[in-house]
Amino acid sequence: MRIEIVCTGDEVLSGKIVNSNYAHICRRLEELGLEVVWGTTVGDDRKRLLEAFRLASGRADAVIVNGGLGPTVDDLSQEIAAEAAGVGLEIRQEWLTRMEAFFQRRGRPMSPNNRKQAMLPVGAELIDNPVGTACGFAVDIGKARFFFTPGVPRELFRMLDEQIIPRLQAMTGESGVNRLKRFHSYGIGESRADTLLADVIALAPDGSVKLGFQAHYPQLETKLAVRGASEDDIVRILGPVEAEVRKRLGSFVVAEDDATLEGEILEALAGRGGTVAVSELHTHGQIGGRLAACDGGRGIFRRGVIANDLGGIFAALDLRDHAGPLDQAAVEAAARGVMQVSGTDHGLAVLVAHGSDAGGGESDGTIFLAVASGDTTVSRAARIIGDEHRVRLGAVEMGLDCLRRHLHGLAFDERVDFEKSK
């Protein structure tokens, strides 16, 4: 089935808004094996909207139109849809009633121009929007089925999952259910993961599992899109593939599905009644920031300390008799120091030395990191290839990952793909 997306609105056309709705729609569809083959962006312009609908209707089986369902005069989707379908507009009393109730619940009067949102092409299929006043609708234009959706992301996302995707799946004539299994890893690049995992889908019946990757440096997401006749069928198909992926990616897997690296760390600490404090140099405090954001008031993450040089780190941690250089001894002292001054039972220190230009224009940075817990302190050093920004991202992820590895009893200094070998 050929699916196209038409995004409408001056703000999207002019780049005032980055079009993340488009990416969201396509990703969701692709995860379910529905392929988008063409995307069009046009403004709030009658002639161009009509032309975009006409062109899409000549190429596609299904078209998702996003935006233009609002109450103002520049929202033209219903009107142009009617024109393209060769029908008039009619008021849909059932939606008018819903809107009136919507405003009444909020204790606000309904503005007269909201009435326009209940005007749909004659014969259109109304598509519910449980969280807004813009109703969706579907209508045939030429040989294609057009689905009109609101531009507000929260409204679009829900309508897409609950209303549009089931209709598209019905159009393909395939029954069954879908699931997306995700693995988040740190330390393996996309090409190595691809090589490592290329044959795992052979463990499932032909075509039932699709393997995909999405790199968000420094993490890599490995996705298994599964299609089966039922939930039980999915479990049966996915089981061996999932187990094999987990085995091959091994200790590089930091979390699965909706879990995160920092979430796994806090869970592991919570499981043993543990607490942690962090000291960071030249990471812009991003490790503490991620742990704080994930802690959610549990008080597992207790303190984060950043400074502008190693002396500042030592001073902040009451290590006034310490001095440089920046090495593994220094980072071990910092990990112990931040644990002691914070009264936690774990301490993580990540200290970055930027700016060694290795020659040949290839810059890198050296990361020193240590984890202290009780009487034990472990540390490692690594050289990461890249500019300051990339080294910083790598240092944050490696710092968190080494804490995870320590908590889970995994190898602390397993080599990662972004590391310089020499």
Q: For residues 308 and 376, which CB has a smaller minimum distance to a copy of itself in the complex?
A: 308
Stretch of 186-194, 266-274, 355-363, 375-383 lying at the interface with a copy of itself (CB under 8 A):
355-363
320 contacts a copy of itself (rule: CB under 8 A) = no
Shortest Cβ distance from residue 48 to a copy of itself (Å)? 7
276 contacts a copy of itself (rule: CB under 8 A) = no
Of 112, 207, 325, 361, the one binding a copy of itself (CB under 8 A) is 361
Strands 136-141 and 125-127: antiparallel
315 contacts a copy of itself (rule: CB under 8 A) = yes
Of 110, 156, 201, 307, the one binding a copy of itself (CB under 8 A) is 307
Of 53, 183, 301, 368, the one binding a copy of itself (CB under 8 A) is 301
Q: For residues 124 and 396, which CB has a smaller minimum distance to a copy of itself in the complex?
A: 396
Q: For residues 20 and 230, which CB has a smaller minimum distance to a copy of itself in the complex?
A: 20
Stretch of 224-232, 266-274, 302-310, 404-412 lying at the interface with a copy of itself (CB under 8 A):
302-310
- Considering only residues 154-193, where is the footprint of a copy of itself by CB under 8 A? none
Q: What is the three-state SS of the chain?
A: CCEEEEEECHHHHCCCCCCHHHHHHHHHHHHCCCCEEEEEEECCCHHHHHHHHHHHHHHCCEEEEECCCCCCCCCCHHHHHHHHHCCCEEECHHHHHHHHHHHHHCCCCCCHHHHHHHEEECCCEEECCCCCCCCEEEEEECCEEEEEECCCHHHHHHHHHHHHHHHHHHHHCCCCEEEEEEEEEECCCHHHHHHHHCCHHHHCCCCCEEEEEEEECCEEEEEEEEEECCHHHHHHHHHHHHHHHHHHHHHHEEEECCCCHHHHHHHHHHHCCCCEEEEEECCCCHHHHHHHHHHCCCCCEEEEEEECCHHHHHHHCCCCCCCCCCCHHHHHHHHHHHHHHHCCCEEEEEEEEEEEECCCCCEEEEEEEEEEECCEEEEEEEEEECCHHHHHHHHHHHHHHHHHHHHCCCCCCCCCCCECCC
| Site map 207..246 versus a copy of itself, x via CB under 8 A | -------x--------------------------------
Nearest to 65 by CA among 54, 143, 174, 74: 54
Helix axis angle for 388-407 and 286-295, nearest 10°, is 50
Number of neighbours of residue 9 by Cβ within 10 angstroms: 24
14 contacts a copy of itself (rule: CB under 8 A) = yes
Q: For residues 108 and 422, which CB has a smaller minimum distance to a copy of itself in the complex?
A: 108
- Considering only residues 27-46, where is the footprint of a copy of itself by CB under 8 A? 27, 30, 35-43, 45
- Considering only residues 54-83, where is the footprint of a copy of itself by CB under 8 A? 55
Stretch of 194-202, 295-303, 365-373, 404-412 lying at the interface with a copy of itself (CB under 8 A):
295-303
Of 25, 118, 331, 369, the one binding a copy of itself (CB under 8 A) is 25
273 contacts a copy of itself (rule: CB under 8 A) = no
Shortest Cβ distance from residue 152 to a copy of itself (Å)? 14
Size of the site for a copy of itself (CB under 8 A): 65
Shortest Cβ distance from residue 259 to a copy of itself (Å)? 19
Of 262, 295, 364, 401, the one binding a copy of itself (CB under 8 A) is 295
User: Contact, 144 vs 157, CB < 8 A?
Assistant: no
Please give the residue ranges that form the binding site for a copy of itself (CB under 8 A): 7, 13-20, 22-27, 30, 35-43, 45, 48, 52, 55, 105-108, 214, 282, 284-286, 288-290, 292-293, 295, 297, 299, 301-309, 312, 315-316, 341-343, 359-362
